[in-house]
Structure 1
């Protein structure tokens, strides 16, 4: 029974994470950052932030039934699933265009890039810095400003996001270990695709189809939760 609960939490979390994160702002941010900085640093920073966020969200969801009755957390989770389903379907039917979110993220990162690199006069200095980075020890490269930038952009971009709240709801109603494992695998798949595929992959994603698919998935989760009794 425990194995069944673990697998159910894993599969739900994996599906929810993939459909929530593909085409998300943090997905686009990872894709654009990977075009300008070493991919290993961007991937490390983004994944670290997403793993921390997933574990934190699952912990909150796991702790909720200990603070509130299991019956109430079950009902709240059911309402969250239906709410997120309607929200995603609304976004899918009323999106002005899937390129808008990509353009918004790119504009913000361009502004940060311009501040960090104010003029062509610093290009030679930048090249010299890149050469120095290549000769740095491994640990110095790992804890670099690029990694911290990728971490902070991803972490704060996910804070309060639909996927974070959905993870909390799942962990309150499913096996939290399964939810964490499914969330981490899903985050790793999406972030790796964004970093490796780059902006070209992000631009080809149909955000509308992802939103509609996610909406249907949340509605299915809501129906399943409504029909099942609180443990």
Structure 2
């Protein structure tokens, strides 16, 4: 087995294992309950691609970024997302029955949904374990292309699974209820990030 193939398989398995129970999976799932799945998948995939390029390009340099600054940025992004979702979920004058009958997300442009998904996942992944692992594996294996492709493939796989689950949940529950749940989940992520910044 070639060094490149070993690096690819190792990286894919590691990143997949790290991200499946991580906030990346949950955030992608939650975004899919709010926005069209194609826009979410496009946005998060683009975010993963940029983050992977950064990790591969700079190697372990990312580990020198201040942890507190990273935590604050992540906290702000999730806080903004939580506020938007809760505002929609508790908006008066419309009980959401029309949306519920369609079993879909509230109307929103593809561009806006994709950009929102990109922003949330880009912030969430900055300095994340998978990004740092990618940088470390590049430095250790000297196989940047194999490591980068494997990391991106694993991240997109996780996002795809989350989007599939999110689509199924969206058709079973009322959109307003999903927005409220999503808002609370994002608020939780925001508090955890700010807590890390304060205590770290």
With structure 1 as the length reference, what TM-score do the two structures score? 0.55
Larger-Rg structure: 1
The equivalences for 1:40-59 within 5 A come to 40-59=38-57
In structure 2, what is the Cα distance between the partners aligned to 1:4 and 1:40? 36
Residue matched to 1:79: none
Residue matched to 1:159: 126
Q: Is the 8 A contact 1:26 1:153 kept in 2?
A: no
Higher relative contact order (CA 8 A, sep 6+): 1
Q: Report the RMSD for the aligned CA atoms in angstroms.
A: 3.1
Structure 1: runs of 5 or more not aligned: 65-75, 77-105, 134-140, 201-231
Structure 2: runs of 5 or more not aligned: 64-77, 100-105, 170-200
1:123 CA drift (Å): 6.6
Residue matched to 1:192: 160
1:111 CA drift (Å): 3.4
Q: Is the 8 A contact 1:50 1:187 kept in 2?
A: yes
1:125-148: CA deviations, max 9, x gaps? x97x83xx6xxxxxxx54x21111
In structure 2, what is the Cα distance between the partners aligned to 1:53 and 1:107? 21
The equivalences for 1:1-231 within 5 A come to 4-61=2-59, 109-116=81-88, 119-121=91-93, 130=107, 141-142=109-110, 144-174=111-141, 175-198=143-166
With structure 2 as the length reference, what TM-score do the two structures score? 0.63
Residue matched to 1:91: none
In structure 1, what is the Cα distance between the partners aligned to 2:33 and 2:54? 29
In structure 2, what is the Cα distance between the partners aligned to 1:26 and 1:108? 17
